[in-house]
Each structure stands twice: as structure tokens, then as C-alpha cells.
A and B are shown apart, each in its own frame.
Chain A
């Protein structure tokens, strides 16, 4: 069992408040990812959980026990650092066995455990090498192995893949996901890469400026962003955010008019909105497409066409200075300076009030609340 809970945790560096009251529950065997822009306090929060950074206020509990004053080695956690932080003068085997050696585990037992973990991570042939003689990906695996050997309650990762090249990152991502399943471990993972967050997380925590903006499953965040920040942060390319004004308010729809004159009916609860109020309409590039001539929609001129092969991102300038990114199929024969028509489907849109908060949708996306069922423990 390994439940981590944070209660109104805060961190001050002198007069600067890096973490401004964070409350969060990490359940047993959950894969939780912290994402957010640079400097938002992800690493600080993780290091506070690890015990490497003191906690200025609030409580940190692991399995119901208050851990604020417990030393980093005694919290039952293991951490994998961005720079791997391997001990350069020790062999791979010694690196992995270091914590056991300090704990006074007999040599034979140490060797057995290291071999076992090396087997999981395919490090067997490298055990006698020094970290300097390994590739980046191998070092990464040693760092993970060093964490596994300790059999921690919770694994902490601080941007572990950011030093690897793109192909290796994809491979390690899959390996990590597999490892999470086979170890049945609780993991807290910091990244600024939203693909890592979306693909690996059971639960994503979006941080900004030391506060939590939203906590939810990846698809919850994707389909039901709580505010403009989360809407803009999750998804690539980022969501189109267009200024609009409310023209009509129904029981389950709000109709808005864009600067181009296009009217869109969005299925959200109006709340206190009145006709004439200024709002922001959000729609993801992948939820837009080109319409046939004569259809209703936003008309504009293609300024840039980014062709990725499978998909093409069109940057379209519409009337009223509106810029729109549209994701179309890679085979679409569109060229720069073509005039195109982009229909906007209200069911795919989000509305944000003047305070930046999203208006509640009338129905939840069917996949938004699906969580990866934790695998039953086999032993």
C-alpha cells in the first residue's frame, strides 16, 4: 500500500512563494503526472515529497503517517533524477546496490537483488561497467534500476526522459508504462512534455505558478478543461481560442457570435451569462476541418501549411484578425494563399467566461471518466 496525500502544502523561498497551498491525493498503484510550464513548481513539489526540500506549511502523509520531518531515506521513496545522478566511480552493480550496502544488507543478498533487477531492465551484461561507459538510455535504465532495488512504496521521477533523443524517449515511455504495471508501484512523474503526460498518466496534475489548475484523467483534461490555462496547455497544436460574444442563451445551449460574424451554438450551461457578454470560444485544431463551398463557417486565407505527412496544420487568417489553426488530412490538396471555409461544430467547442473558467458542458465525454483499472495483485 502506498497512498500519498498532500494537505495545503506550501513552500517559501525567503519571500518567494514557490508552492501556494497544494492539496492532492495519490492513490495506491496510481501513475500521477505533474505537468506545467517551466518554473511552475513541479520539481519543488516532487522534492518536497522526496524530503530533499523542507516543507514550509501543510502536511505530507504517506500511508496516513505524517512525513514532514522524516528524512529522505526513511520515507520509503526512491527518486530518479533528470541527470541520472549515478555515482561515476562505482560500477553499475555497485550503483544499484549502494542503498542496500548502506542498509547493511549482506553481500550475497545484494548481489541476488541486483541481478534480479538487472534482469528486468536488461542490464545484465553491463553490470561491471562504469556509468561513463554507458549510453544515455542505458544510464537511464541504471538510474531506474537503482530505484527499483530499494523496493520503494513510491517512485518519484523528475523529467527522466528529457535528456534522451526522440526515438529513445518513445521507447523508454513504453518501458516505464510496462514497469509501472509489472511492479504494481505508485509513481509520481514530473514532465513538461504533454505527450508523456497524456500517454502514461492515470491522473494528471496541471500546475501553474505554484497552484494546481486541474486534476483529472488525461481525457478528462482534454475534453473538460476547467479553465483557459488548462485548455491551452493540454493538446498539440494548442486549442484555438477566439473572442466571441453571447447572442442567445437557451436551457442547454449558448449561442455566440465570432468576430467573423459566424454564429455557433455550444451545448453548455449558461449560468449567469446574458446575451451581449464577452466570452472565449475554444476549439481544437483536430476538431476543425474544411467545409464544402456554400456551407456556413469561418472563411479565410491559408497563410502557412505545415505538412507532417499524415496530417497538415493550416494556419488560416479569417476576417476580424482572427487566426485559426486547422488540422486536416495530409492528403488534402490545399496550398498557401488558398481561400478556405472552416465550419465550426458547436458540440466540439468549449466556452470560457470572462473570468477564464470554462462553462459546464451539458454532457460529459464518454471516455472522460474512464481510468485504467488497476491490475489485481497476483501474489
Chain B
């Protein structure tokens, strides 16, 4: 009976010192189901990926099979495409981070000021985050950067310049611009709330100490934002390592391999070449890469959070 169970627990209230020990014993069965589900959720796909990466498994050639040893990895690691894809991945992540955090901080400071129409301006600047990646990539491709119909081409033509064929001449830069445009609102949102949480009296104290706008930014606002910037970098990195839709829609990884990142390379192996084994090996390498990045990030941010 639940009521008698509750009564049986009640006397422990008199002995608070003994409580923690009891709790750690008794809560394990309650934690277990969710821990097990989460573990399965992670372990099963991981194990399958590892398994596939060690067998010969090509959908075009079902007769081929059996244990492949390290050959999938060998093939992949000696493939120059992998290194290009790795470099592209890191370039994409790095530049988008620089642009979104840099611009996001400046915009956050700007949007923290009082100006007429601030509410509408905020809404507009947040809007790109709600547009699906595929849609925003299409918009950029066909409305903004198109060498004939695009707005950018129109502007450069009316200024007397030759329009730039963005995706042919600067393919990776174009993808970076699109992805940065999508993620800027996220950075701005987090940084703006962080700025607004800055203690009012702290700013006033700085003003009385003689801090102008620049010193206020450098000495008061920026250190206060450290934590929020860390969070933005961490979350964005997780998502930016797997950018895919923008590349598929705009350049399909080309020209050549110019915009192929790791996610896109795996897709090419698995679904264009039907090489499940090779794609799985690529997946494992992506996991390793993500963990290396995560290791450094978490260390840097943990230090940041500790202070």
C-alpha cells in the first residue's frame, strides 16, 4: 500500500545525516531504465557502424561480402578526397564560428541599445533561424547569388562591375556565407540575453569610473560574455560539423571537391556509390574527429565555466 510505504519513510526526516547514503542506494533502479534506453540508443547504431566499417558491403555488388579487415579504412585514408573533406569541414566550422560570434557580439551590443522600432528589428534579425536550411540555401542560390537573376549580381551590374558567379568562383566562401547567415540569429539571441543579464549597477559603476563605450565593451561586457560565447561555440560546432543540406542544394559538393565536407563525403560514398562499408568507415572517422574537437572544446569551456 503506498500510504504505508510513505509512513515507513517518514521517520528518516528525524535523521537527516543518514539520508544521502540511503538515497544513493535506492535511486539506482529508478535511474536504470532511462540510462539503459539512452545507452541502447547510442550503442546500437555505433556498433552497427563499426561492424559495417569492417566488412565488404556494397549494394551494387551483393555477391561481395565477408570480413574486410582495415581495407575500408585504408582505402579511405589513402583517398585524397578525405583530406580535402576534412579541411573543408574545419574551414567551414571555423569561419562560420568566427563570423557568427564576431558579428553576433557586435549586433547584440547594438540591439541592447534603445532605439525606435527595436522590437521589430529584433524579430527580423531572429527570423533566419526559423527558415529551413534547404529553403534558405535555395533562396541564397537563386535569389541572392545567382549570376544572372541574383540581387548581388544586379547590384554589381548597376554599379558597373561584372557580376560574380559565386558558386563557381568562391564555392566554399558562398557556403560559409549561407551557413553563417543561418546561425547568426542563434548567436545573437544567446549573446543578447547574456548582455541583458549584466548587472545594471556594474555598468553604472564603470561609467562613474570613467569608462566610455569602448572601454565598457572591452573591460566589462566582453568578459561578461565569455561564458555565453563558450556555449555558442560548443552548440554551433556540434551542428556545423554535420552541415549537409546547404551543400547538397547549392553545389553538391563541387566544383570538384571544393565544398565537400565529411558529411557530404559519407553521403557520396553511401548513396552515390552504394559503398556502405566505406561510408561507415567515413562515419567512424567523423566520430573520431567530433570527439577530438569536443575534447578541446569541453576543456576550454569547463575552465571558462569554473571561474
Among B207, B210, B224, residue most surrounded by chain A Cβ atoms (within 10 Å): B210
Contact across chains for B205 and A73 when beta carbons are under 8 A apart: no
B129 adjacent to chain A (CB < 8 Å): no
Contact across chains for A150 and B204 when beta carbons are under 8 A apart: no
Q: Is the interface of A mostly helix, strand, loop or mixed?
A: loop
A50 to B201, CA, bound (A): 13
Binding site for A on B (CB under 8 A): 199, 201-202, 204-211, 215, 219-220, 223-224, 226, 307
Contact across chains for B219 and A87 when beta carbons are under 8 A apart: yes
Which of B202, B208, B209, B215 contacts A52, CB < 8 Å?
B208
Contact across chains for B209 and A102 when beta carbons are under 8 A apart: yes
Contact across chains for B206 and A98 when beta carbons are under 8 A apart: yes
- Size of the A side of the interface (Cβ < 8 Å), in residues, is 24
A166 adjacent to chain B (CB < 8 Å): no
Contact across chains for B209 and A85 when beta carbons are under 8 A apart: no
Contact across chains for B205 and A85 when beta carbons are under 8 A apart: yes
Contact across chains for A83 and B201 when beta carbons are under 8 A apart: yes
Q: Tell me the A346-378 residues at the B interface (CB within 8 Å).
A: none
| 6 nearest A-B residue pairs (beta carbon) | A73-B210, A85-B201, A99-B209, A85-B205, A89-B223, A81-B201
Given the complex, which residues of B lie within 8 Å of A150, measured CB to CB? Answer: 209
Q: Tell me the A101-117 residues at the B interface (CB within 8 Å).
A: 102-103
A89 to B14, CA, bound (A): 42
Given contacts A72-B208, A81-B204, A89-B224, 5 further A-B contacts (CB under 8 A): A52-B207, A79-B204, A85-B204, A88-B224, A102-B215
How far does the Cβ of B237 sit from chain A's closest Cβ, in whole Å? Answer: 24
Given the complex, which residues of A lie within 8 Å of B215, measured CB to CB? Answer: 102
A85 to B211, CA, bound (A): 14
Given the complex, which residues of A lie within 8 Å of B204, measured CB to CB? Answer: 52, 72, 79, 81, 85
Contact across chains for B205 and A79 when beta carbons are under 8 A apart: yes
Q: Is the interface of B mostly helix, strand, loop or mixed?
A: helix
Contact across chains for A77 and B201 when beta carbons are under 8 A apart: no
Binding site for B on A (CB under 8 A): 50-52, 71-73, 77-79, 81-83, 85-89, 98-99, 102-103, 130, 146, 150
Can you sample 16 A-B contacts with CB below 8 Å? A52-B204, A71-B207, A73-B208, A77-B208, A83-B201, A85-B204, A86-B202, A87-B206, A87-B219, A87-B220, A89-B223, A89-B224, A98-B206, A98-B209, A99-B208, A146-B209
* Count, A-B residue pairs, CB within 8 A: 60
Contact across chains for A89 and B209 when beta carbons are under 8 A apart: no
Contact across chains for B202 and A85 when beta carbons are under 8 A apart: yes
A102 to B207, CA, bound (A): 11
Contact across chains for A99 and B210 when beta carbons are under 8 A apart: yes
Given the complex, which residues of A lie within 8 Å of B209, measured CB to CB? Answer: 73, 98-99, 102, 146, 150
Given the complex, which residues of B lie within 8 Å of A50, measured CB to CB? Answer: 208
How far does the Cβ of B32 sit from chain A's closest Cβ, in whole Å? Answer: 38
Given the complex, which residues of A lie within 8 Å of B211, measured CB to CB? Answer: 73, 98, 102
A89 to B304, CA, bound (A): 11
A102 to B215, CA, bound (A): 8
Among B202, B209, B220, B307, residue most surrounded by chain A Cβ atoms (within 10 Å): B209
A77 to B204, CA, bound (A): 13
Closest to A74 in B: B210
Given the complex, which residues of B lie within 8 Å of A77, measured CB to CB? Answer: 208
Given the complex, which residues of B lie within 8 Å of A83, measured CB to CB? Answer: 199, 201
Given the complex, which residues of B lie within 8 Å of A99, measured CB to CB? Answer: 208-210
How far does the Cβ of A143 sit from chain B's closest Cβ, in whole Å? Answer: 8
Contact across chains for B202 and A78 when beta carbons are under 8 A apart: no
A78 to B201, CA, bound (A): 13
A130 to B306, CA, bound (A): 13
Contact across chains for A78 and B208 when beta carbons are under 8 A apart: yes
Which of A79, A82, A88 contacts B208, CB < 8 Å?
A79
Which of A51, A98, A103, A146 contacts B219, CB < 8 Å?
A98
Given the complex, which residues of B lie within 8 Å of A72, measured CB to CB? Answer: 204, 207-208
Closest to A83 in B: B201
Contact across chains for A87 and B207 when beta carbons are under 8 A apart: no
Given the complex, which residues of A lie within 8 Å of B219, measured CB to CB? Answer: 87, 98
Given the complex, which residues of B lie within 8 Å of A79, measured CB to CB? Answer: 204-205, 208
Given the complex, which residues of B lie within 8 Å of A88, measured CB to CB? Answer: 202, 224
Given the complex, which residues of B lie within 8 Å of A51, measured CB to CB? Answer: 208
Among A71, A77, A83, A87, residue most surrounded by chain B Cβ atoms (within 10 Å): A87
Closest to B210 in A: A73
A73 to B224, CA, bound (A): 22
Given the complex, which residues of B lie within 8 Å of A86, measured CB to CB? Answer: 202, 205
How far does the Cβ of A13 sit from chain B's closest Cβ, in whole Å? Answer: 15
Contact across chains for A73 and B201 when beta carbons are under 8 A apart: no
Given the complex, which residues of A lie within 8 Å of B223, measured CB to CB? Answer: 87, 89
Closest to B203 in A: A85
Contact across chains for B201 and A82 when beta carbons are under 8 A apart: yes
Contact across chains for A85 and B210 when beta carbons are under 8 A apart: no
Contact across chains for B208 and A102 when beta carbons are under 8 A apart: no
How far does the Cβ of B224 sit from chain A's closest Cβ, in whole Å? Answer: 7
How far does the Cβ of A145 sit from chain B's closest Cβ, in whole Å? Answer: 13
A130 to B223, CA, bound (A): 14
How far does the Cβ of A51 sit from chain B's closest Cβ, in whole Å? Answer: 8
How far does the Cβ of A146 sit from chain B's closest Cβ, in whole Å? Answer: 8
Closest to A132 in B: B307
